[in-house]
Structure 1
Amino acid sequence: MKFIKLGIISVIVFGTLIFLGSLLLPSTAVVERTGVIHAPIDTIYKHIGDLKAWEPWNPWFKPDSTATVTFSQTTVGTGAWYSWEGKISSGKVTIIDSDPLKGIHYSMDVKNMRPVDAGIELKPTADGKATAIFWHMQTHLGLLPWWKLRGFMADKIFGPAMDQGLTKLSRICEGKD
């Protein structure tokens, strides 16, 4: 009986310590990537502003080869969306704000995941010969330890895919692909 009581107390103490320790972790996960694409803003905007143009460069466009993708009636501008339904995951991306001179702001909702607030910002470089691009994603994690731990590792999980996406986008916009 003492062994069971000690086990229960140990589990409660250990769980409490994990929860208290997780309070030290940030409640928001942010992943950001920047780059320079040697192409004008309007060329890049054609690939980020139209959801149908995401497939060749965006690493999360169709996360599952069995997924079926559905688009809104219009795929460009504020309110445009696409959704996917597959064996592994399902979700929806909606453009919240779109400006051909500045970029886009969008939300991504994936089943069994926290909503993601994201954007791709565009600015001409100082010399005017290229475009600086800033891709960012932010997720509010709440207080649960398992979400905070995942948020702590978000850059390692999602950063390489964002790097790959920016590289592909750059190659497409610069006419190398």
Structure 2
Amino acid sequence: MKLLKLALISFLVLFVVATLIGLMLPSTVVVSRAVDINRKDPGRIRQEINTLSRWPNWIEGIQANGFKLTSADSIGKGASGYVNGNNIQIIRATDTAIVSEWMGKGGFRQEAVMNIITNPSHAVTTVQWSFTQHIKWYPWERLGSMMNDKILGPVMEKSLANLKTLAENSANETVQQGGEAIIP
């Protein structure tokens, strides 16, 4: 009986300590990465980001994890897809930002924002991609959120590098006809 009592008290003390440590961690976690793309016109970049059916061309591992479209339209607001247990939906699309919501099993929710930043004086477009997750007070969620950057960061970096290669290569393939650029 003493052993059971000791185990129960130890468990409660560890739970309280983990909860207190977890409460010191932020309730919102943001993982963000950016890349500069040598392309003045952001049209092709926007097209790749705003079209779900084009995501397998540049988002690392998305095709291997069973990506499929779940909406009739794959472009802009309302476009939705499914990958690796997550439902993805574009909830807002403007010229400068595409916002999508990723819903996982058990109500796990993240918001992904892809900002397109242009500088008229330079031939560079910056794409900044961030995932934001709001964490509940549960100690296992708070402590587990410390791994978000280690898990998402490298995949985001590789994906943005793929997007950079794709956009810069298509810029090199642009053909001039009658003074107008035609993007393949």
8 A contact 2:53–2:69 mirrored in 1: no
Letter in 2 for 1:22: G
Where does 1:57-68 land on structure 2 (aligned, <5 Å)?
57-59=58-60, 61-62=62-63, 64=65, 67=66
Call closer, same or farther: CA 1:34–1:114 in 2, change over 3 Å: same
Q: Give yes or no for the alignment of 1:75 onto 2:70.
A: no
TM-score by length of 1: 0.88
> Unpaired segments of 5 or more residues in structure 1?
none
In 2, the alpha carbon distance for the partners of 1:77 and 1:49 equals 5
The SS at the match of 1:74 is coil
The equivalent of 1:47 in structure 2 is: 48
Q: 1:97 aligns with which of 68, 84, 92?
A: 92
Call closer, same or farther: CA 1:126–1:112 in 2, change over 3 Å: same
Which moves more between the two structures, 165-174 or 34-43? 34-43
8 A contact 1:114–1:141 mirrored in 2: no
In 1, the alpha carbon distance for the partners of 2:137 and 2:64 equals 27
Where does 1:1-177 land on structure 2 (aligned, <5 Å)?
1-39=1-39, 40-59=41-60, 61-62=62-63, 64=65, 67=66, 69-84=68-83, 89-99=84-94, 101-112=95-106, 114-125=108-119, 127-175=121-169
Which moves more between the two structures, 68-77 or 154-163? 68-77
Call closer, same or farther: CA 1:38–1:68 in 2, change over 3 Å: closer
Which moves more between the two structures, 4-13 or 31-40? 4-13
Letter in 2 for 1:15: F
For residues 55-77 of structure 1, the C-alpha deviation after alignment (integer angstroms, 9 at most, x for no partner) is 0111253452xx36133111111
In 2, the alpha carbon distance for the partners of 1:137 and 1:68 equals 19
The SS at the match of 2:60 is coil
Q: List structure 1 runs of 4+ shifted beyond 4 angstroms.
A: none
The SS at the match of 1:53 is helix
Letter in 2 for 1:44: I
Letter in 1 for 2:37: I
Letter in 2 for 1:35: V
Fraction of identical pairs, as percent: 28
TM-score by length of 2: 0.85
In 1, the alpha carbon distance for the partners of 2:61 and 2:136 equals 24
Instruction: Report the structure, 1 or 2, having the larger helix content.
Output: 2
In 2, the alpha carbon distance for the partners of 1:91 and 1:6 equals 41
Instruction: Tell me how many residue pairs correspond in the alignment.
Output: 170
> Unpaired segments of 5 or more residues in structure 2?
173-184
The SS at the match of 1:107 is strand
The SS at the match of 2:155 is helix
Call closer, same or farther: CA 1:137–1:131 in 2, change over 3 Å: same
